[in-house]
């Protein structure tokens, strides 16, 4: 006897090309019920591994190609218990692209919603398979207790982009990035980071949330070399301050 499995309908997925029934709720909660949304894989490229061997450290890259006046990039994870990973605001010479790592609770879509100056959201995404449990297990420094000795330490470096134009800033902030979903461990995560040039002009802002991986690593690209030294300022949800000067 043959069994027929019904695929999700357009009404259930809101027309999502990744076929996710979580998408309508994601759009309503994070982009707004009345928001104009375009599924736009041609301009919004999201890349990750086909299978994440370590669900607590899943590399993701987002690149926006051919869209002008990008004001915000929001990264959402459909099947995580905490779905919003970060909000990125590229300013001045900062390109609308970033690389980072996140936690995956189970296999499913990871997507970037890119807002342009006209208020339209352009959405792209990819599906990443994973063994799961990335949001509900303690991180390594939480397990061994070493997080307190390194909390807030920043390492950062500027180097030429491979394309030969501009520079890339790669940085790491030591932080346990606890989700609050492990028994006895409350949510504790870096929630804000900004980078400014030598004249005090803000180059980018980032709001990060619990799904970002422990000791987060970020890469940002500049279309031209920023005037240094750069100043990094940030904070976590407990009010701890993060600061570093990058020569």
- Choose among 110, 70, 64, 94: nearest CA to 212: 110
Integer Cα distance of 64 and 22 in angstroms: 23
- Domain boundaries along the sequence of the chain: 17-246
- For residue 5, pLDDT over 90 is answered with no
**Residue 193: what are its φ and ψ, rounded to 5°?**
-150, 140
Contact 57, 104 (CB under 8 A): no
Q: What distance in Å separates the CA atoms of residue 79 and residue 106, rounded to the nearest whole number?
A: 6
Q: In which region does residue 71 sit, left (phi positive, over 0), alpha (psi from -120 to 50) or beta (all else)?
A: alpha
- Which pLDDT tens digit goes with each residue over 127-175? 999 888 999 999 999 999 999 999 999 999 999 987 668 999 999 999 9
- A 10 A CB-CB count for 79 gives 17
User: How far, in whole angstroms, is CA 2 from its chain's centroid?
Assistant: 42
pLDDT in tens, 76-130: 999 999 999 999 999 999 999 999 999 999 999 999 999 999 999 999 999 999 8
d(CA 214, CA 232): 19
C-alpha distances in Å from residue 142, one per residue of 145, 180, 184, 188? 5, 12, 12, 11
pTM for this entry? 0.94
Enumerate the β-bridge partners of residue 236: 190
CATH number of 17-246: 2.60.40.2470
More confident residue, 132 or 63: 63
Instruction: Indicate the SS3 state at residue 74.
Output: strand
Task: Name which of 32, 49, 104, 44 is nearest 73 in CA terms.
Answer: 44
Residue-level pLDDT at 87: 98
């Amino acid at each position: 006897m043959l069994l027929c499995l019904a695929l999700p309908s357009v009404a259930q997925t809101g027309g999502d090309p990744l076929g996710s029934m979580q998408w309508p709720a994601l759009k309503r909660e994070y982009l707004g019920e009345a928001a104009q949304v375009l599924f736009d894989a041609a301009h919004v490229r999201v890349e990750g591994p086909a299978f994440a061997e370590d669900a607590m450290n899943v590399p993701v890259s987002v690149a926006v190609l051919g869209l002008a006046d990008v004001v915000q990039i929001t990264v959402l994870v459909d099947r995580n218990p905490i779905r919003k990973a970060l909000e990125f605001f590229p300013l001045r010479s900062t390109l609308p692209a970033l690389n980072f790592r996140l936690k995956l609770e189970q296999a499913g879509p990871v997507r970037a919603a890119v807002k342009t100056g006209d208020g339209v959201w352009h959405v792209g995404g990819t599906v990443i398979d994973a063994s799961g449990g990335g949001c509900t297990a303690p991180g390594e420094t939480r397990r061994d207790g070493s997080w307190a000795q390194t909390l807030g330490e920043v390492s950062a470096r500027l180097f030429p982009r491979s394309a030969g134009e501009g520079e890339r800033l790669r940085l790491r902030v030591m932080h346990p990035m606890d989700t609050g979903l492990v028994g006895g461990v409350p949510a504790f995560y870096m929630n804000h980071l900004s980078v400014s040039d030598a004249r005090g002009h803000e180059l980018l802002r980032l709001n990060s949330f619990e799904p970002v991986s422990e000791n987060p690593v970020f890469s940002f690209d500049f279309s031209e070399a920023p005037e240094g030294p750069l100043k990094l300022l940030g904070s976590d949800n407990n009010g701890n301050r993060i600061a570093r000067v990058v020569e």
